[in-house]
Structure formats: C-alpha cells, structure tokens
Amino acid sequence: MKIVAVCACPTGVAHTYLAKRSLEKAAEKLGHQIKVEAQGALGIENEITLQEVRDADVVILAVEVGIAKRDRFEGKPIVNIPIQTVVKSPETVLKKIEEKFLSR
C-alpha cells in the first residue's frame, strides 16, 4: 500500500518527529511505501508532492493542530488519528488501515 502522512503536534517538536519515525519504521516492517511530512517549529519538512498524493492509497493525518496545505488531500481516503496513538502503536494503526482499505 502507498501511504502519505502528515505529523504535527502543538509545539511542533518532539511528538511530531517521534510519530514520523514510528510510522516510517512500521510501514517498512509491514512492506508499505510511506512518505511522512512533518509540520512543526521548522515549517514543512519532507513535503509531500501532488504526485505522491495522487499515487497514495490513503492519507494519514496524525495531527493535533491545524496544518498547512490540507486541501491537497481532498478526494483521498483520510484517516485522522491522534499523534499519541501513532507514537505508541504504529503497527496497530497501519494494520487497521490495511483491513479497511485493502479489503475494498
């Protein structure tokens, strides 16, 4: 499965990057392609392109604050999830997404 994700916490520092790393490691372990964008204190890092959005099967928004450029995901299946859940249980999150979107 091809996944794009945005992580953003209120301060834009610790949890943003913990969630990003957690998703990347879990996706690699489960055999998924993922690109994770961080939006935080330093702005947008590892920005997701429009082509990557088009190619994605699903969008994960692990955000606790408003994010920039949210409209680029319009029309795609979006999973909104608390950033803390992604940090604590990234594999569980991805497996639930697999069940929902791969069984279509």
Q: Which residues of 12-31 are buried (b: 16+ CB within 10 A; e: fewer)?
A: beebbbbbbebbbebbeeee
* Given 3, 9, 19, 62, the catalytic residue: 9
Residue-level pLDDT at 84:
94
- Cα–chain-centroid distance for residue 5? 2
9 carries an active-site annotation: yes
Residue-level pLDDT at 103:
66
pTM greater than 0.75: yes
Residues pairing with 39 in the sheet? 44
Sequential pLDDT tens for the chain (104 residues): 999 999 999 876 789 999 999 999 999 999 999 999 999 888 999 999 999 999 999 999 999 999 999 999 999 999 999 999 999 999 999 999 999 987 65
Domain map (residue ranges) of the chain: 2-102
* Protein fold of 2-102: Rossmann fold (3.40.50)
Nearest to 64 by CA among 50, 89, 81: 81
